[in-house]
Amino acid sequence: MILNKTTEYAFTILGFMATREEEMYSAEYLHDQLKIPRRYLRRLLTDLTKHGFLKSSLGRNGGFVFAKELKEINFQMVLNALEGSDALTTCFLGFSCCVVDHPCVMHDTWVEARSKMIETLTNTSLADLREKYQRDIAKNIPTI
């Protein structure tokens, strides 16, 4: 498994919010649109707020907006916030004693493959997602 469900949900939510035009998104609306379980979604939104990706506003007509510029949020940051920095850095062969000075036999191969992935996650911001979405729409490409 590459990502756990919670992280995947977070990506779904942020990706959705980044590509759509609403000013503000309520938990209820996101639930309707994305079919993520209601209560779980709410907890996750609170979590994303605490991590500084979103800002919440209380009261009627309240909801969630981005707390930063879209270009300042990338997928690596989100993954890191939700799964911790270990998520992409543990030894491939599962040896806890595998470190740079005393690597396992798969170390270099794995570091290389993994760093490609980390690079992609780091280099892709929500702003990139939004741009791509708008380009696709303009070209009439069916897009989610």
Partner DNA sequence: TATAAATGCTATAAAAAGGTAGTAGTTTAT
Partner DNA sequence: ATAAACTACTACCTTTTTATAGCATTTATA
Distance CA 106, CA 9 (A): 31
The tokens 């919670």 sit on which residue? 6
> Does 60 interact with DNA (rule: CB under 7 A)?
yes
> Does 90 interact with DNA (rule: CB under 7 A)?
no
When binding is defined by CB under 7 A, the residue of 26, 33, 122, 124 that contacts DNA is 26
Distance CA 99, CA 90 (A): 9
Distance CA 31, CA 39 (A): 9
> Does 40 interact with DNA (rule: CB under 7 A)?
yes
> Does 87 interact with a second copy (rule: CB under 8 A)?
yes
Q: Find the helix or strand (DSSP H, E) in which 33 lies.
A: helix 27-34
Which residues in this chain contact a second copy in the complex, by CB under 8 A? 1-4, 8-9, 11-12, 15, 19, 83, 87-88, 90, 92-95, 97-98, 101-106, 109-110, 112-114, 116-117, 120-121, 124, 129, 132-133, 136, 142-144
